[in-house]
Amino acid sequence: VKELTRYRVTGAIFLASIAIIFLPMLFDGDGLEPNESLNSDLFDLRQAVDTLDFSEVVPDDRSRAPELKAALEARQALRATIDEEGYLESNGTRIGDPVLSIEDTDTVIWAVQIGSFDQPDNATALRDRLLHDGYSAWLSNVRNFGGDRTRVAVGPMLLRTDALAMQEELVVRYDGLEALIVGFSH
């Protein structure tokens, strides 16, 4: 009787190990063929957008025509102030990024610029470190005589005294860091 029980236990262990090895292979889904009809029916958004003509705007309502004409003129005026790569010609800042400038008597919003980097990865690393430490940090891309640079700043602040306090705090916390108070606009 003991020998028969031993054979049964050995057989059960063998069958269980075979099942552990082969059952996952049967149910992993690699053997399934992709459904070609599903892929051919998908709507290609890029192709649809490329076929649209955005150069002409046709108003549905004739009363809105002056508004649309003004919007088109504003768009053309904006395009005249931007270079091919999306930088404003007046101050070299990429369109959509915050504009940092030398503060003057007209400055009403301030920021503290912490660094300016040739390598965007270095700027991103510093910004991420500041964000991790609880500061409201962001990046601003600018093009000047020396090429493209990515600036890291903290702010904005509505009071210059807050900007001064932030500058002092950053210089103390990040030893050796040179922080500048700059004007902020968007």
- For the stretch 44-69, pLDDT in tens is 666 666 676 666 666 566 666 677 77
Domain that holds residue 150: 99-185
Is residue 46 in a domain?
Answer: no
User: What distance in Å separates the CA atoms of residue 168 and residue 101, rounded to the nearest whole number?
Assistant: 20
Indicate whether 57 and 132 sit together in one domain: no
Q: pTM above 0.85?
A: no
Share of the chain above pLDDT 90, in %: 13
Indicate whether 140 and 72 sit together in one domain: no
Indicate whether 107 and 136 sit together in one domain: yes
Could you tell me the CATH number of the domain that includes residue 108?
3.30.70.1070
What is the reported pLDDT for 146? 65
In the three-class reduction of DSSP (H, G, I as helix; E, B as strand; rest coil), residue 83 is classed as: coil
Token pair listed for 30? 């690699």
What is the reported pLDDT for 87? 64
Specify the higher pLDDT residue, 38 or 113: 113
Is residue 105 in a domain?
Answer: yes
Torsion of CA 55, 60, 66, 67, to 10 degrees: -80
Is residue 6 in a domain?
Answer: no
Which range (14-23, 59-68, 147-156) has the least confidence? 59-68
Is residue 118 in a domain?
Answer: yes
Token pair listed for 67? 């508004």
Indicate whether 125 and 70 sit together in one domain: no
Specify the higher pLDDT residue, 179 or 99: 179
Indicate whether 141 and 172 sit together in one domain: yes
What is the reported pLDDT for 89? 62
In the three-class reduction of DSSP (H, G, I as helix; E, B as strand; rest coil), residue 91 is classed as: coil
What is the reported pLDDT for 132? 92
**Domains of the chain: total:** 2
Indicate whether 59 and 121 sit together in one domain: no
Share of the chain above pLDDT 70, in %: 63
* Region 74-81 average pLDDT: 72
- For the stretch 83-96, pLDDT in tens is 665 666 656 666 66
User: What distance in Å separates the CA atoms of residue 155 and residue 162, rounded to the nearest whole number?
Assistant: 10
What is the reported pLDDT for 1? 65
Q: Has residue 13 got a pLDDT over 70?
A: yes
Is residue 58 in a domain?
Answer: yes
Is residue 158 in a domain?
Answer: yes
Q: What angle do CA 88, 91, 94 make, to 5 degrees?
A: 40
DSSP secondary structure string, 30-75?
TTSPP-HHHHHTS--HHHHHHHS--S----SSGGGHHHHHHHHHHH
- For the stretch 105-133, pLDDT in tens is 777 788 888 888 888 899 899 999 999 99
Contacts of 1 (CB under 8 A, 6+ apart): none
Specify the higher pLDDT residue, 100 or 181: 181
In the three-class reduction of DSSP (H, G, I as helix; E, B as strand; rest coil), residue 160 is classed as: helix
Distances (CA, A) of 30 to 23, 25, 121: 13, 8, 39
Rounded to the nearest integer, the mean pLDDT of the chain is: 77
Q: Has residue 39 got a pLDDT over 60?
A: no
Q: Which one-letter amino acid corresponds to residue 91?
A: N
**Pairing relation of β-strands 99-101 and 180-185?**
antiparallel
User: What distance in Å separates the CA atoms of residue 92 and residue 86, rounded to the nearest whole number?
Assistant: 9
